[in-house]
Amino acid sequence: MIWDMWNTMKSLMKQPGLREIRGVTLLEIAIVIGILSFLFTIGVVHFRNSRATTTNVASDISFHMEFLRATTRLQESLQTGSEIVKPVEGRTLPYLIFRDILNQTQILYLEKTDIEGEKPAVLVSYTDIYDGKFDQSRKKVLFGKVKSIEFTANTPGIVLVNLALTSPREKEITSLIEIPFKNFGTVEGE
């Protein structure tokens, strides 16, 4: 019975119009597996790189937004000023002393966050009310991650600020900002 089925299958395969069924060799299977594993490896590497790139871009955007907030806070703090005390006109210093609209002395300076000075500093604003005492409550941290800052008195009412911030990934953004002080000669009385 099995022999008859075999002969029937053999005779069907030899009929015109029907092709012979050919098997797949082990070499062909190995080539296909090699090609698929190569394509899979390329896909995995590309996926890992795109994920790292996405994380880096998000971190950079966050750092740029932080830099924008820092420069905005600095501008808001300085625009309350009416007169630059130090540095004198045409000079550059790492700190700024100015009088605000209430005639109080404001001091902007860098304060290191560690003793070795390897970590970025913070920019501090201190208000002196001429009582001869240091009061911690009058000290306000404007922002951190400051690598360097320099103040140049361009004119008695304009200060140039050269600000450099560093990111946790050791990237740096530097900006030169011109900030005008309040000019009370142009303010009209009520």
Predicted local confidence at residue 44, as pLDDT:
83
- What would the pLDDT profile of 155-175 be if each residue is shown by its tens digit? 778 888 898 888 777 788 888
Token output for 151: 């103040």
Predicted local confidence at residue 167, as pLDDT:
79
104 alpha-carbon distance from chain centroid = 35
**In 10-157, where do the E strands start and end?**
81-86, 92-93, 96-100, 105-111, 121-128, 139-155
In percent, how much of the chain has pLDDT > 90? 1
User: pTM of the predicted model, to two decimals?
Assistant: 0.64
**Confidence band, pLDDT 50/70/90 cuts, at residue 25:** confident
Q: How far apart are CA 106 and CA 86, in angstroms?
A: 11
Token output for 77: 């703090």
Query: Do 104 and 129 meet the contact criterion of CB atoms below 8 Å apart?
Result: yes
Token output for 186: 């142009």
Predicted local confidence at residue 117, as pLDDT:
56
**Confidence band, pLDDT 50/70/90 cuts, at residue 41:** confident
- What would the pLDDT profile of 68-116 be if each residue is shown by its tens digit? 888 888 888 888 888 888 888 888 888 898 888 788 888 888 888 776 6
Residue 132 has pLDDT above 60, yes or no: yes
